[in-house]
Chains A and B, each alone.
Chain A
């Protein structure tokens, strides 16, 4: 292969140098990396907040902080994790970097808008920071901003919700870019059923981003309006309806959980076939289940409100609908497992992380059904059971998919390979810590320990201590994993263009890719997961 200059050496627009080549770039790959640094920064901050919360709960009574600070810290933890990490992580980093390449094109449809989304993201993060220090104390509403508390409290909730508003704009514009790129820039030879599954999942996600995000934007603006003018939309004394807020909030925030998980599922659908050297099982079923999740997932929001006082008819109806969503999710899990069946499996860090994902996500999804059924939910609603459920799906699911994506695409993004052994140690420690952290929380929840309290009854002490121990293991594991990745910048062990034996288009271009991604015209395969060529190479001993 002729040596080509990578995108690191060719700024776009041409002529920019130094830091300006990054801050003013239109290149989707540079933007993906810029998102990466920003998102990793927020992730580490929020992780440390979480660790402090857990440390407080490790023993009964006041340990390291009082109730006010505890409330602010879980708000900060939740807001950052949700709006600045899980929602943007996979689409903004890996979506930006790989969606155009997987579609066989040189950039997204609106490159400047892409840059603008990045600035909105940074600005939203900045607003969130300012809101901490500009009211009477740190905001302590929780990431859900429920009325009437969020309207009455004297902290600067207005600014915090405007931060979420801005981040929502950024998310919508990214979604818009992906949809238009998908339809307008795709390589002419690539039919709909030849598109890689990661890109399909981003497409489904993008629709949810565009349709659901405006709902939360409007809702957050209403909170600000209420705070400034007390119109009474959510105030029964003035003819308003407090449950309306919860409807509006969950109309976005339930679909948002699919904004979080769908791209993660897309990552897993890429990794499993590559390391099984076997075509993905049920390609079309996975595509349809992505779209099915996007649609069905938009119809179940009120399962967060069974105890809110809404009508029994709705409770019944939303419970029924909730069970429907589990079907497309299960289709995917079965497809991944069936893909590995009789494959020629090669263990690598991305595959290990994907397997952990499948395990943890399944627990998360199945406990979701416990919560989706009204009877048990009334018992465990607002307890640690719910906290554990959503951490299994958001962290065990999306979080681990994010780690898997980092390890899978790292050699492509930077052209270097990391150390496997340390990656395994980090991943395994993270997984063990995770189980120690969250399994006790299921039990605590069933025993009745409420969420969002800084203290508890003596009978919950053992569980909380175990969870705290798990949290420390978990954080150490994550730090090892990150440290190992960063060490690869020092060792600079070069990675080939196709280190894993992948078949999608990003593995046909150099690592790191050149500015316009493709040196030669992309060769679109009949079916994106055809491993016959790779298997032949293995047989000939070339791989």
Chain B
């Protein structure tokens, strides 16, 4: 077997801290939406969203505690999606 079973249980404090971070980031999203950053409006919103997603995946969904197979699978999936969407936009951009 290449990834061992481990039932990792997160403590309530840790979960609460993550929840807090997520709520704060949500607050920042709202706050930023009141400012006009010009070109950076979308990149900023996306950057915050990505940070939040990373926290959810790593802790709530236990990716941080999984073996390499699960992590590789996950990264592979995301890159696949990224390429699919990226190439298509790329075509549209040059039409």
Complex contact B83–A298 (CB within 8 A) = yes
Supposing A207-B76, A211-B77, A247-B88 touch, asked if A313 and B94 sit within 8 A by C-beta, the answer is: yes
**Is the beta-carbon distance between A312 and B87 smaller than 8 angstroms?**
no
B1 touches A186 (CB 8 A): yes
Evaluate contact between B2 and A310: CB separation under 8 angstroms.
Answer: no
Which of A192, A241, A298 is within 8 Å of B80, CB to CB? A298
Which residues of A89-147 are within 8 A (CB) of B?
A: none
CB-defined contacts of B90 to chain A, threshold 8 Å: 313-314
Secondary structure at the B interface, as helix, strand, loop or mixed, is helix
Q: B95–A311 contact, CB under 8 A?
A: yes
Contact for B91 among A184, A215, A310, CB less than 8 A? A310
CA distance A211 to B84 in the complex (A): 11
A91 nearest CB across to chain B (Å): 19
Q: Is B10 an interface residue (CB 8 A)?
A: no
Interface size on B, residues (CB 8 A): 17
Contacts of A340 in B (CB 8 A): none
Q: Which residue of A lies closest to B88 (CB)?
A: A247
User: Cβ of B91 and Cβ of A302 under 8 Å apart?
Assistant: yes
Beta-carbon nearest neighbor of B90 in chain A: A314
Interface string of B58-93 (1 = CB under 8 A from A): 000000000001000000110010011001101111
Q: What residues of chain A lie closer than 8 Å to B87, measured between beta carbons?
A: 299, 302, 314
The proximity string for B residues 33-53 relative to A, scoring 1 for CB distances below 8 Å and 0 otherwise, is 000000000000000000000
Chain B residues with Cβ under 8 A from A519's Cβ? none
**Nearest B-chain residue to A241, judged by Cβ:** B92
| Distance from B57 Cβ to chain A, minimum over Cβ atoms (Å) | 18
Q: Within 8 Å of chain A (Cβ to Cβ): is B7?
A: no
Q: Is A244 interfacial (CB-CB < 8 Å)? A: yes
A378-397 contact mask (Cβ, 8 Å, vs B): 1 or 0: 00000000000000000000
CB of A188 within 8 Å of the partner chain:
yes
Residues of chain A within 8 A (CB-CB) of B83 are 298-299
Partner of B94, one of A184, A244, A314: A314
B1-43 to A contact mask, C-beta < 8 Å, 1/0: 1110000000000000000000000000000000000000000
Q: Specify which of B76, B91, B94 lies most central, judged by the most chain A CB atoms within 10 Å of its CB.
A: B91
Question: How many Å lie between the Cα of A192 and that of B2 in the bound state?
Answer: 9
CA of A188 to CA of B92, assembled, Å = 50
Q: Does A183 contact B (CB under 8 A)?
A: yes
Measured between beta carbons, the chain A residues less than 8 angstroms from B80 are 211, 298
Provide the bound-state CA to CA distance between A310 and B88, in Å. Answer: 10
Given A302-B87, A311-B92, 12 additional A-B pairs, CB 8 A = A183-B1, A211-B76, A241-B92, A243-B91, A247-B88, A298-B83, A302-B91, A311-B95, A313-B91, A314-B90, A314-B91, A314-B94
